[in-house]
Amino acid sequence: MSVPFDVVFLGTGAPLNNPDRCGCGQVIVAGDTQVMVDCGWGSARRIVPAGLRPPEIGIAVFTHMHSDHITDFPDFIFQRWTGGATTPLRIFGPPGTKETMEGFMAALRLDIGFRLAHHGDKLHPEGAKIEGTEIPAPAWPNQFHVAGDLVLESFEVDHFPVVPALGFRFRADGRTAVLSGDTSLCDSLVGAAEGADLFVCEAMNQPMMTQLISMLEAMGRKREAGMMSDVPDYHISTTQVAEVARRSGVGELVLTHIIPPVPNDTAREADFMAGMAEIYGGPIRMARDTQRIAVGKKP
């Protein structure tokens, strides 16, 4: 019998406000192992609606320290603890992860103390702790941890000036899922995605970004327009994503970290993905918050 191997999407948005899409976050489910990948704004509140239980998530990995990938971590750690966790959360990420997560825990110190004083032994003190490990950013996926049926590998992507930024490759039961993290087009992403059964990649629609920038300029919002003009420097476009999927021979392509904001609307999602099917002939879809997608074996 095959091991269940799924990607559960908690947040599929980016920093720009989107009522349908929270900040970036996923949970990898492989057998009895559950690994959170990033925990951006609002994503922790998607865990239960997505059919998961916070205390069953024993590992969290982070691609980089941008706010839209980390700021719901305090909410997650409390959901996990008050839900019954009795062991520390294992955390892995690039250099800077320990400093950031320990900063969150320092800010929560008083709250943790108050809850222990109030609830006593109903809460296990170890469940409110973390164990952080900073991992390499190699050009080719490198194994950094094994949990049950799941092998976890990291690789560096190009999100300059965020250095290093990571993507992750997960392997279980003869199947492979690759998550890009935030990146521009780079050789390491193409190499890591090679032969993947499921390729989960961030995506930016360049024509929609150009339209947004023009609209902001027309409204006299020059500063915001200027900031939006910087965004394409370190994000990968939809057509480039399709090219990576084609070159790497992936089985299925799923888009997330959607830029600019797109609502849960089939027509708008189709507009966002326009032109991709002419480049990559496999299945393409845009993930939505709380959606679970199985990692199927490619033909």
Q: Which two tokens stand for residue 110?
A: 């008083």
Alpha carbons 177 and 199: distance in angstroms, whole number: 6
Residue of 38, 68, 182, 197 with catalytic role: 68
Strand 89-93: give its sheet, edge to edge: 130-134, 89-93, 59-61, 33-37, 25-30, 5-11, 292-294
Catalytic, 68? Answer yes
Spatial CB neighbours of 191, under 8 Å, sequence gap ≥ 6: 139, 140, 155, 248
Nearest to 225 by CA among 213, 237, 210: 213
Q: Which burial class, exposed, middle or buried, applies to 118 when counting CB atoms under 10 A from its CB (0-12, 13-18, 19+)?
A: exposed
- Neighbour tally for 191: CB within 10 Å: 15
For residues 190 and 156, the answer to whether their CB atoms sit within 8 Å is: no
| Residue whose C-alpha is closest to residue 157's, from 132, 195, 191 | 191
d(CA 299, CA 297): 7
The catalytic residues are: 68
